[in-house]
Structure 1
Amino acid sequence: MTDDADISTAEQAANDARVLGFGRLLGAANRLEYILGRAIEEECGISHLMFEVLLILGRAGAPGMTMRAVAQEQVLTTGGATRLVDRMVDAGLVVRAADPGDRRVQVVRLTPLGEETTVRAARSHVENIRRYFLEPLPADHRDQFVEDLRILSFAARDALPRLR
């Protein structure tokens, strides 16, 4: 790879290995998001974003999560999280309740239907991940690739300003 000082033309910028690598990452992520998201919508009747929130709430367990925490986990504004959770409440996937420790704070929890939908969607999603995300990679690279993505994800999350 070249030093960034070596970029002095548009052609060099467009062909820089770092720029190409990041562009490929975004392209793969966007295409996989579309493929996997469509499968969840068709097979389970929920959006990929709703599925991600169901997974976040599944990780949180019985106590649930505050609306603010849901927004931060999904990099949504609090208004965006509220609208999404409203749709999920209407679909019977989650309930919202006042936090016993602070009545001004709303906590979101899975309903039994939300739990069932999470499991059903995850079973389908895992198969599609295997097919479209892992199988194209050499078998001996898969675990390291997934670990590298975890590192990148956490580093990017830590670099983000906390949403208010």
Structure 2
Amino acid sequence: MPRRVIPPTLPPEFGVYFALLEVSGLLRQGSERQLREEGGLSFVQFQILATLGEDPTTPRSMTYLADRLVHSKSGLTYQVGRLEQAGLVSRTPSPDDDRGVNATLTADGAALLARVLPGHVAMVQQVFVDALGAADRDQLTRLLDLVARHMRPRPPRSARVAAKPA
């Protein structure tokens, strides 16, 4: 593979940015293919099911899911609606917020998650994890956690207040 080319108008340290974009794109493409073939799911739908599956007994608010998945609330609401139509999640009014809605994984959603997860783990292992030794995985995880901690304090998209018209 040829050496990564950085546009001359950008500083050389942008190489890390372009490398991350390439790896993220390739990993997402492989994930989307596997999830579509094995479960009829989009990547975002899988992320929703997986997040709800972390604690299936605890309903999660749309805001929590949007912030956690770094997804717009409207886009997330649409995807949760599709999952609800398929019987994979249920939505209920929030007891804490008159306008809020919570989502919970259904038994069918948990079963689908259990069905697609082994193939997903195998695909991620093969195309990403196996490319690195244990020390490199630990170092990359540490570095990405450092960047995420730097970025997360900024208000999440779902919490941003729209600019008031002048």
How far 1:83 sits from its partner (Å)?
0.8
Q: 1:58 to 1:151 in 2, by over 3 A?
A: farther
Separation of aligned partners in 2, 1:103 and 1:163: 17
Normalised by the length of structure 1, the TM-score is 0.82
Normalised by the length of structure 2, the TM-score is 0.81
- Counting aligned pairs with the same residue, the percent is 28
How far 1:36 sits from its partner (Å)?
1.6
* Higher mean C-alpha displacement, 23-32 vs 146-155: 146-155
Match of 1:79 among 54, 74, 79: 74
Contact 2:72 2:157 in 1 (8 A): no
> Structure 1: which amino acid aligns with 2:114?
V
RMSD, aligned α-carbons: 1.9
After TM superposition, the structure 1 = structure 2 runs for residues 143-158 of structure 1, keeping only pairs within 5 Å, are 143-158=138-153
Aligned residue for 1:37? Answer: 32
Separation of aligned partners in 2, 1:55 and 1:38: 17
Moved over 4 A (4+): none
Aligned residue for 2:118? Answer: 123
* Higher mean C-alpha displacement, 84-93 vs 64-73: 64-73
Match of 2:132 among 134, 137, 141: 137
Q: How many residues align?
A: 153
After TM superposition, the structure 1 = structure 2 runs for residues 48-87 of structure 1, keeping only pairs within 5 Å, are 48-87=43-82
Runs of at least 5 residues in structure 2 that lack an aligned partner in the other structure? 1-6, 160-166
How far 1:28 sits from its partner (Å)?
0.9
* Higher mean C-alpha displacement, 56-65 vs 22-31: 56-65
Deviations 1:7-52 (A, max 9, x none): xxx62x44x4311111111111011110122111111211111010
Contact 2:35 2:41 in 1 (8 A): yes
> Structure 1: which amino acid aligns with 2:112?
T
* Higher mean C-alpha displacement, 142-151 vs 86-95: 142-151
Contact 2:71 2:157 in 1 (8 A): no
Separation of aligned partners in 2, 1:160 and 1:51: 24
Contact 2:67 2:157 in 1 (8 A): yes
> Structure 2: which amino acid aligns with 1:122?
L
- The structure that is helix-richer by fraction is 1
Deviations 1:47-87 (A, max 9, x none): 11101011111224412111121122222222212111110
Separation of aligned partners in 2, 1:39 and 1:93: 18
